């Protein structure tokens, strides 16, 4: 895991946006935009170790990253967002709308604030800036254990029964299979 603290760095303007909106999730069944690349990130801690995971609803992609026994939950959450940004950079997307969901308000607030004292947060901000220089990038909060359904239109295109994804349980299920 990268150095926890660094000399303070200030990021006054960011090319991406961050949204923490409880009312969006509380008042309606969320409809995810069809034109966006949609990713969910999560970090976790278990007795056996720590890890991060990313799950792409569109594109369909799941990745997990073991982080040993000493990473904090905050570090696992930031690392998941960093790896998601890196995966999107690797895919060389341009002029796309990219939504990255996280259930960690602390991580999202660290990425939206101007002062950074964590080397890992600075690295994540740099990756998000590169990604956002070519795309419209939004980091959005999703309540933990909240079910997110595909829209009816996407379900019809798939010609399958609607799939429901619980952000944490889906990622944890994937992490268990790969560890």
User: pLDDT tens digit string along 69-103?
Assistant: 889 999 999 999 999 999 999 999 999 999 999 99
More confident of the two residues 151 and 124: 124
Residue 1 has pLDDT above 90, yes or no: no
- Of the candidates 148, 168, 150, 171, the residue with the CA atom closest to the CA atom of residue 160: 150
Top-ranked range on mean pLDDT: pick from 38-47, 81-90, 149-158, 168-177: 81-90
> In terms of pLDDT, which residue wins out, 171 or 112?
112
**pLDDT for 46:** 81
pLDDT band at 157 (very low <50, low <70, confident <90, very high): very low
* Nearest-10 crossing angle of helices 73-90, 105-112: 60
Question: Across-strand partners of 73?
Answer: none
Residue 146's alpha-carbon distances to 3, 32, 68, 101, 138, in angstroms, are 32, 14, 27, 12, 19
Question: What proportion of the chain, given as a percentage, has pLDDT over 90?
Answer: 53
Q: What is the token pair recorded at 50? A: 């720590």
**Statement: residue 148 has pLDDT above 70:** no
Give per-residue pLDDT as tens, 11-62.
Answer: 989 999 999 988 777 766 667 888 999 999 999 888 778 889 999 988 988 8
Residue 85 · residue 135 · CB < 8 Å: no
Of residues 175 and 19, more confidence is placed in: 19
The pLDDT of residue 95 is 98
Domains and their CATH numbers in the chain: 9-22+30-178 (3.30.420.10)
- What percent of the chain is predicted at pLDDT more than 70? 76
């Amino acid at each position: 895991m990268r150095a926890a603290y660094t000399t303070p760095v200030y990021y006054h303007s960011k090319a991406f946006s961050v949204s923490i909106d409880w009312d969006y999730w509380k008042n309606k069944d969320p409809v995810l935009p069809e034109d966006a690349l949609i990713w969910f990130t999560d970090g976790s801690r278990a007795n056996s170790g720590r890890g991060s995971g990313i799950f792409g609803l569109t594109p369909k992609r799941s990745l997990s990253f073991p982080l040993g026994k000493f990473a904090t939950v905050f570090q696992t959450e930031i690392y998941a967002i960093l790896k998601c940004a890196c995966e999107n950079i690797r895919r060389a997307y341009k002029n796309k709308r990219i939504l990255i969901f996280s259930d960690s308000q602390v991580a999202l607030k660290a990425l939206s604030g101007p002062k950074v004292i964590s080397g890992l947060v600075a690295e994540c901000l740099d990756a998000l800036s590169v990604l956002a220089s070519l795309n419209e990038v939004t980091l959005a909060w999703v309540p933990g254990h909240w079910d997110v359904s595909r829209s009816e239109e996407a379900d019809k295109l798939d010609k399958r029964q609607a799939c429901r994804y619980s952000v944490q349980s889906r990622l944890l299920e994937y992490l268990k299979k790969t560890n």
